[in-house]
Amino acid sequence: MFEAYGTVDRVNLVTDRDTGQARGFGFVEMRVNAEADNAIAGLNGRELDGRALNVNEARPKEDRGRGPRSGGGGGQRQRRW
């Protein structure tokens, strides 16, 4: 879908680390900003498999701070219930 608007450099479809199932979102990298902007404008709200796409520019990941269990390796996240 994105290639209709320009050259796609990379695609990352996000999956659940435990089940391997798709989480319903991903990232598409395009080298030319104008092409990426056109893809956003052309694809946002478009229907795919019965669902409306939400296409926008990725925002930087928020810094969640460093809790007692976020100190590096292991990859286990602190959960709040």
| Mean per-residue pLDDT pooled into runs of 10, the chain (81 residues) | 96 95 94 96 96 92 67 50 43
Q: For the beta carbon of residue 58, count every other beta carbon within 10 angstroms.
A: 8
Cα–Cα distance measured from residue 52 to residue 20, given in angstroms and rounded to the nearest whole number: 23
For residues 65 and 35, give the distance between their C-alpha atoms in angstroms, rounded to a whole number.
Answer: 35
Phi, psi of 23 (to 5 degrees): -90, -5
**39, 6 contact by CB (below 8 A):** yes
Taking the complete model, does pTM exceed 0.95, yes or no? no
Amino acid making up residue 32: V
pLDDT at 61: 80
Q: Set out the domains of the chain in order of their start, with CATH numbers.
A: 2-52 (3.30.70.330)
